[in-house]
Amino acid sequence: MKHLLARANRGLLASSARRHTVLVFDFDGTLAPIVPRPDDAHMRSRTRVLLASAARSYPCAIITGRAIADIAPRLRGVGLACTVGNHGGEWEGAAPRTRHIRAKVREWRVRLSEQLAGTEGLFIEDKGLSLAIHYRQAHDQRAARTAIRSAVASLPAAKLVGGKCVANVVPANAPHKGTALRQIQRMFRAESTIYVGDDETDELAFPSGASPGLITVRVGPSRSSRAAYYLRSQREIDSLLAILLALRRDGAASRSGRR
Ligand SMILES: [Mg+2]
């Protein structure tokens, strides 16, 4: 894994700025700092300004685990080309047939609330097409994880995807961040794509083999990640956005002969 903002990688970012590049981001832990209560998550104002400028220079998309109804107000006014929620299962504006999935998720919620009633510090969030079981407030997080794993194992056709103090329960054959990313690449006919994420669900968007034209970036270096590059911290997202903007401005200026 290499530090994306290292001087040695400036050429890579410069070539992205010259090509038709789509910028794709996760939200929590990537554009917005992780906070104790997921409801309080928001971008710093500097990130918001940079992202809005980036969205005028590049097609920008978000793929998040949050439901669209939850994420849309947090991104209002930014001017994104595309927002995908529920780990790839819910597209803004699109209305896929999801009635049977929603019914199944409601049934899981009832069963999990009963089975996990004795485990302290848990909060089950119903996102319509998936559930998120938050256990950041649990004193014994290992016990919470064990209880969640065994409860989810008893559900029919459910899959558990881990995260930072959250266990996501999604339909076993549901689309994921990787399928959503490929769809976005096709939709925008991307020559090049930069994907930035910080968590286990983002690993599905980091292919294991070579993937020409896809630059995979993890927030925080990790030996077990499949991403090729890392940012040192969530704060570095601002530097990445600023560099991509400056590179594109330089390119536009040199093309118009002003330099
Ligand atoms: Mg995240």
**How far does residue 147's CA lie from ligand 1's centre (Å)?**
23
- Whether the pLDDT of residue 259 is over 90: the answer is no
**How far does residue 148's CA lie from ligand 1's centre (Å)?**
20
**How far does residue 190's CA lie from ligand 1's centre (Å)?**
23
Q: Report the pLDDT value the prediction gives residue 181, as an integer from 0 to 100.
A: 96
CATH architecture type of domain 2-89+175-255: 3-Layer(aba) Sandwich (3.40)
Dihedral over alpha carbons 125, 182, 195, 43 (to 10 degrees)? -40
**How far does residue 254's CA lie from ligand 1's centre (Å)?**
36
**Alpha-carbon distance 44 to 5, whole Å?**
20
Q: Report the pLDDT value the prediction gives residue 258, as an integer from 0 to 100.
A: 55
Chain centroid offset of residue 257 CA: 38
State pLDDT tens for residues 236-248.
999 999 999 999 9
State pLDDT tens for residues 14-38.
999 999 999 999 999 999 999 988 9
**Alpha-carbon distance 86 to 203, whole Å?**
15
Domain with CATH 3.40.50.1000 in the chain: 2-89+175-255
Confidence of residue 130 (pLDDT cuts 50, 70, 90): very high
**How far does residue 136's CA lie from ligand 1's centre (Å)?**
15
Q: How far apart are the first and last CA of the chain?
A: 35
**How far does residue 15's CA lie from ligand 1's centre (Å)?**
27
CATH for 99-171, among 3.40.309.10, 3.90.420.10, 3.30.70.1020, 3.60.110.10? 3.30.70.1020
Confidence of residue 211 (pLDDT cuts 50, 70, 90): confident
Confidence of residue 96 (pLDDT cuts 50, 70, 90): low
**How far does residue 50's CA lie from ligand 1's centre (Å)?**
19
pTM: 0.87
